[in-house]
């Protein structure tokens, strides 16, 4: 789920590869030398998350710089302060900055000047210098040709709106990312409830239904003990260090079991895999490290410490200050426009998605209730019953048509076989100058498909057969008459 959400944020925030928009992450990646993901719909988790955390933290520090009215936030805190702010003041300021720069209210202020004018002074984004669109002029054109055609510019700050959405969505993702190793399932649950709207807005149907079903399970269906049991088993700590998602570690164990099956043969249903390997897979994986530790041996480290990001931070902070990235400048837009997935998801759920989910989920519950109670209840409406009756009627018609076609085909085949037995008379459609045609001409040119004449002809031929041959002959289909198709 975290990877899917990271893909959604990256696809929504990176913008074009050569973007000049300061709100696009591509410009931040170019400034720091970070690699831009080649496929924004399926990014590499660890390098992309590391880069996006760097961009997020640099933007948060720039918001703190504006709040403290400082030229350089790092120098501001490195200098001694006679009266440094205490922790309560910092927490209050942090909550204020979240509302100002990373909330739906902040997005409404950035996108609409009316919301900005009516906002509370403490929640209002500080104003920057007036926005002057960059002049893009071709040397081969005259000045008169470069004048605008009267289109009114956007009065909101689109660049600020993009940055608000990134800080909001990435902030939720970082909360979940920090809560997993700490074992804080409560914080993860609060983020999962928010992601119901975000996934619905990004048209991710699978995770939307999964989160809605999970919420309804804990809210309406499961008992308190059962709900707590699910939460307590969502994160596990097998090594005594960091917590891990239970489903993730199960996939890791399945990978090892699949390798064992491919290497040693067998099947997952075998007794050895089910009763020996699967219950003890964690112990088998840790056997090597346990043997080394018992002899006071330590495995050689293969990882390197994370390099310091002081230079990258300095570069991003300078760029944010020059671009006035976190100051409100009405009319500022540079082409890139992020999508407000949370607001779109809220609208979709109110319009149709939540009603559709309720219908589907209650339909399953009604069926389960009827099965458990042993009673039958008619919950069909008239329109649905008419549709079902029409479907059944069409099905019966199709079956009857198929049966009639099969009978007709069987009769035709029987007639052909009988014709060969009765002296080599050919009753097929391809026969030239058949006896049927001659008889039709003799009878006045009547239609070849006249079944009465054909039956009369066949009866005359059958009367000429010997009684012994009639006793030996058995028609291939009961009741089939030797009719010709023409």
Residue 245's φ and ψ, nearest 5 degrees, are: -65, 135
**pLDDT higher than threshold 70 for residue 235:** yes
Residue 7 tokens, joined: 């893909």
Question: Containing H/E element for 39?
Answer: none
User: What is the pTM for the complete model shown?
Assistant: 0.68
Three-state SS string across 246-268, please?
Answer: HHHHHHHHHHHHHHHHHHHCCCC
Q: Do residues 389 and 331 both lie within one domain?
A: no
The three-class DSSP label of residue 344 is helix
Which one, of 34, 37, 35, lies nearest residue 10 by Cα?
Answer: 37
Dump pLDDT digits (tens) for 71-95: 888 888 888 888 888 899 999 999 9
Q: Are residues 177 and 90 located together in one domain of the fold?
A: yes
pLDDT recorded at residue 394: 57
Residue 140 has pLDDT above 50, yes or no: no
Residues 331 and 393 placed together within one structural domain of the fold: no
The reply to whether 399 and 333 lie within a common domain is no
* Per-residue pLDDT, 263: 75
Q: How far is CA 284 from CA 98, 222, 279, 290, 292, in A?
A: 47, 35, 10, 10, 14
Dist. CA 385–CA 475, nearest whole Å = 45
The string of pLDDT tens digits covering residues 423-470 is 333 334 444 444 444 444 444 444 444 555 555 555 555 555 544 454
Q: Assess whether pLDDT exceeds 90 at residue 189.
A: yes
pLDDT at residue 399 is higher than 70: no
Question: What is the enclosing helix (H) or strand (E) of 197?
Answer: helix 185-201
Residue 382's pLDDT band, with cuts at 50, 70 and 90, is low
CA 285 to chain centre: 33
Over pLDDT 70: what percentage of the chain?
Answer: 70
- Reading the block at residue 368, the tokens are 């389960």
Question: In this structure, is residue 196 part of a structural domain?
Answer: no
Share of the chain above pLDDT 90, in %: 27
Residue 224 pLDDT class (50, 70, 90 cuts): very high
Residue position matching structure tokens 């199960």 = 250
Whole-number pLDDT of residue 198: 92
**Is there a domain that residue 378 lies in?**
no
Q: Give 171: exposed, middle or buried? Use CB within 10 Å, 0-12, 13-18, 19+.
A: middle
Average pLDDT over residues 390-413: 51
Average pLDDT on 188-213 reads 90
Q: 335 and 390: one domain? A: no
Average pLDDT score over residue span 230-257: 83
pLDDT average, residue stretch 401-408: 48
Burial class from Cβ neighbours inside 10 Å (0-12, 13-18, 19+) for residue 147 reads: exposed
pLDDT band at 227 (very low <50, low <70, confident <90, very high): very high
Note whether residue 215 is domain-resident: no
Helices within 244-340 (DSSP H only)? 246-264, 271-272, 281-294, 310-323
Average pLDDT of span 94-109? 93
Task: Mark whether 324 and 432 lie in a shared domain.
Answer: no
Judgement on whether residues 391 and 316 belong to the same structural domain of the protein: no
What is the predicted pLDDT for the residue at 246? 83
Please, how many CA atoms are within 13 Å of residue 239, restricted to the half-sphere of its CB? 12
| 278 pLDDT more than 60 | yes
Q: Does residue 142 carry a pLDDT above 50? A: no
- Domain match, 174 and 258 both: yes
List the single range of 56-70, 194-208, 253-267, 438-452 with lowest mean pLDDT.
438-452
pLDDT of 167 over the 90 cut: yes
The answer on 156 and 24 residing in a single domain is yes
- Report helix, strand or coil for 44: coil
Identify the residue with better confidence: 178 or 426. 178
Q: State which residues form the domain around 288.
A: 2-133+152-183+237-298+308-339
Question: Looking at the predicted structure, is the pLDDT value of residue 414 above 70?
Answer: no
So what's the pLDDT on residue 166? 95
Q: What is the mean pLDDT of the chain?
A: 76
Residue recorded with tokens 């190793």: 181
Number of compact structural domains in the chain: 2
Confirm whether 83 is domain-assigned: yes
- 310-369: pLDDT as tens digits: 788 888 989 999 888 899 999 898 888 899 999 999 999 988 888 888 888 887 777 777
Distance CA 102, CA 161 (A): 10
**Could you tell me the end-to-end alpha-carbon distance of the chain, in angstroms, rounded to an integer?**
68
Q: How far apart are CA 424 and CA 417, in angstroms?
A: 9
Report which of 92, 99, 103 is spatially closest to residue 121, judged by C-alpha positions.
99
Q: What's the confidence (pLDDT) of residue 148? A: 36
Q: Are residues 317 and 410 in the same domain?
A: no
Answer yes or no: is 35 within a domain.
yes
Burial 276-291 (b: 16+ CB within 10 A, else e): ebeeebeeeeeeeeee
Which residues are bridge partners to 245 per DSSP? 235
Q: Is the pLDDT of residue 196 over 90?
A: yes
Q: What is residue 135's predicted lDDT score, i.e. its pLDDT?
A: 65
* Range with the poorest average pLDDT among 45-49, 293-297, 424-428, 446-450: 424-428
Is 191 within the bounds of a domain? no
- Assess whether 264 and 129 both reside in one domain: yes
Same domain, 178 and 275: yes
Distance CA 366, CA 377 (A): 9
Residues in CB range of 435: below 8 A, 6 or more apart: 425, 457
Buried b or exposed e, range 362-396, using 16+ CB within 10 angstroms: eeeeeeeeeeeeeeeeeeeeeeeeeeeeeeeeeee
CA atoms within 13 A on the CB side of 408: 9
Asked whether residue 407 carries a pLDDT value surpassing 80, the answer given is no
Which 3 state secondary structure label does DSSP give 235?
Answer: strand
Q: Does any domain span residue 465? A: yes
pLDDT of amino acid 391: 58
Let me know if residue 349 belongs to a domain. no
Mean pLDDT across 46-66? 93
CA atoms within 13 A on the CB side of 101: 26
Residue-level pLDDT at 374: 63
Q: What is the pLDDT of residue 338?
A: 92
* Max avg pLDDT among 16-30, 176-190, 387-401: 176-190
């Amino acid at each position: 789920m975290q990877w899917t959400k990271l893909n959604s944020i990256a696809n929504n925030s990176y913008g074009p590869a050569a973007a000049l928009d300061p709100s696009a992450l591509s410009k931040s990646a170019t400034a720091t030398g970070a690699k831009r993901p080649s496929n924004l719909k399926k990014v590499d988790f660890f390098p992309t998350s590391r880069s996006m955390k760097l961009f997020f933290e640099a933007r948060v520090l720039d918001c703190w710089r504006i709040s403290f009215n400082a030229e350089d936030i790092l120098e501001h805190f490195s200098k001694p302060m006679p009266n440094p702010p205490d922790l309560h003041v910092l927490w209050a300021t942090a909550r204020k900055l979240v509302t100002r720069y990373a909330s739906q209210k902040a997005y409404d202020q950035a996108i609409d000047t009316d919301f900005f004018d009516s906002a509370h002074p403490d929640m209002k984004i500080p104003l920057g210098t007036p926005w002057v669109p960059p002049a893009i002029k071709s040397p081969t054109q005259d000045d008169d040709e470069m004048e605008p055609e009267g289109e009114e510019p956007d009065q909101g700050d689109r660049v600020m709106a993009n940055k608000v959405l990134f800080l909001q969505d990435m902030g939720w993702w970082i909360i979940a990312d920090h809560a997993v190793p700490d074992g804080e399932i409560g914080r993860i649950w609060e983020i999962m409830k928010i992601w119901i709207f975000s996934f619905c807005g990004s048209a991710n149907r699978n995770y939307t239904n999964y989160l809605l079903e999970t919420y309804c399970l804990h809210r309406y269906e499961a008992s308190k003990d059962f709900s707590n049991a699910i939460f307590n088993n969502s994160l596990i700590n097998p090594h005594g260090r960091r917590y891990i998602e239970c489903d993730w570690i199960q996939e890791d164990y399945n990978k090892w079991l699949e390798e064992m099956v491919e290497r040693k043969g067998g099947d997952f249903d075998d007794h050895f895999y089910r009763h020996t390997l699967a219950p003890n897979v964690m112990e088998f994986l840790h056997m090597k490290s346990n043997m080394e530790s018992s002899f006071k041996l330590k495995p050689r480290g293969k990882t390197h410490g994370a390099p310091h990001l002081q230079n990258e931070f300095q570069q991003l902070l300078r760029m944010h200050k020059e671009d006035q990235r976190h100051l409100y400048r009405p009319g500022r837009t540079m082409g890139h426009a992020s999508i407000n997935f949370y607001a779109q998801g809220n609208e979709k759920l109110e319009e149709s998605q939540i009603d559709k989910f309720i219908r589907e989920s209650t339909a399953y519950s009604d069926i389960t209730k009827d099965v458990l109670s042993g009673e039958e209840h008619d919950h069909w409406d008239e329109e649905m019953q008419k549709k079902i009756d029409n479907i059944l009627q069409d099905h019966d018609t199709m079956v009857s048509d198929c049966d009639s076609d099969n009978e007709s085909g069987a009769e035709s085949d029987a007639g052909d076989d009988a014709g060969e037995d009765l002296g080599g008379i050919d009753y097929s459609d391809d026969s030239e100058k058949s006896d049927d045609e001659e008889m039709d001409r003799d009878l006045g040119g009547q239609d070849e498909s006249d079944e009465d004449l054909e039956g009369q002809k066949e009866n005359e031929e059958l009367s000429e057969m010997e009684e012994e041959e009639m006793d030996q002959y058995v028609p291939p289909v009961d009741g089939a008459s030797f009719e010709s198709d023409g």
